[in-house]
Amino acid sequence: MSVKDRLAVVQQQINQAAIQSGRTPEDIKLIAVSKTKSVEQIREALAAKQIAFGENRIQEALGKIEALSSNQQVEWHFIGHLQKNKVKFCPENFQWIHTVESIELTGKLEARFALAKKKINVLIQVNLSREESKSGLQEWEGILRVAETISSGHWLKFRGLMTIPAPDLGEIKTRKIYEQMRKWRDKLQYELNAPEITELSMGMTADFNWAIQEGATMIRIGTAIFGARN
């Protein structure tokens, strides 16, 4: 199957899951995870009207962003662990960062975006599976502190939460994590009196159906669109 055909299948599955959950398909953004994929494959997806792409390594992403810079519609999401020494590359290249996880990283991003006089949408990464191999905050108090720090600045627009549950947890445990994410997102919206905190970036190829049922607004899918990793 071509990238275009796979995208059509995924979009149909997302629409179906949304309707079954009593939601509007338009409320769910598909992010095509293009890490390890070629510029040609991304161009195929663009030709099929996919515009949001997720990258998890800055150096790899920069070449693709440069190669596709003539297309003003492309929306780049950084979805990997953001090293502090790579923050300087973010202002000119990304519209979204999904993986803010500390007050220190928040400060570095705020300073760099202030320098560039650009704003960016950010999400706080949460690690409710408590996996050592993954970044992210685990407790409400820490999430609230980082959220307050982001919101007190000017250049970072705090939009919601992101998570990657451990694989193979099964439906009940995975959905519990997604449900908790939704509750915390709603609580942040209330506590910070910020109606713009609407986003939940959760759900990948294996579990996006459950994520949609629990309120995901952004689904990150790679394998089902581009095939197995290179």
State the total domains in the chain.
Answer: 1
For residue 92, the model assigns a pLDDT of 93
**Interval 186-209 mean pLDDT:** 96
For residue 130, the model assigns a pLDDT of 78
pLDDT digits (tens, 9 = 90+) for 198-223: 999 999 999 999 999 999 999 999 99
Q: How far is CA 196 from CA 34, 41, 101, 223, in A?
A: 27, 33, 19, 31
- pLDDT at residue 229 is higher than 70: no
For residue 50, the model assigns a pLDDT of 97
- pLDDT at residue 121 is higher than 70: yes
**What distance in Å separates the CA atoms of residue 55 and residue 39, rounded to the nearest whole number?**
12
Confidence of residue 168 (pLDDT cuts 50, 70, 90): confident
Domain range for 115: 3-226
Report the CATH number at residue 181.
3.20.20.10
> Which run of H or E residues covers position 200?
strand 199-201
Cβ contacts of residue 69 below 8 Å, gap of 6+?
none
Confidence of residue 230 (pLDDT cuts 50, 70, 90): low
* 184 within 8 A of 144, measured Cβ to Cβ: no
The mean pLDDT value of the chain amounts to 95
- pLDDT at residue 132 is higher than 90: no
**Interval 66-85 mean pLDDT:** 95
**Interval 158-173 mean pLDDT:** 95
Cβ contacts of residue 98 below 8 Å, gap of 6+?
54, 77, 78, 79, 122, 123, 125, 162, 201, 218
**Interval 110-127 mean pLDDT:** 97
**Share above pLDDT 90 across residues of the chain, in percent, rounded to a whole number:** 93
- Dihedral in degrees, nearest 10, Cα atoms 58, 64, 67, 72: -90
For the beta carbon of residue 91, count every other beta carbon within 10 angstroms: 18
For residue 135, the model assigns a pLDDT of 82
pLDDT digits (tens, 9 = 90+) for 23-53: 999 999 999 999 999 999 999 999 999 999 9
pLDDT digits (tens, 9 = 90+) for 93-118: 999 999 999 999 999 999 999 999 99
Paired residues of 199 in beta bridges: 160
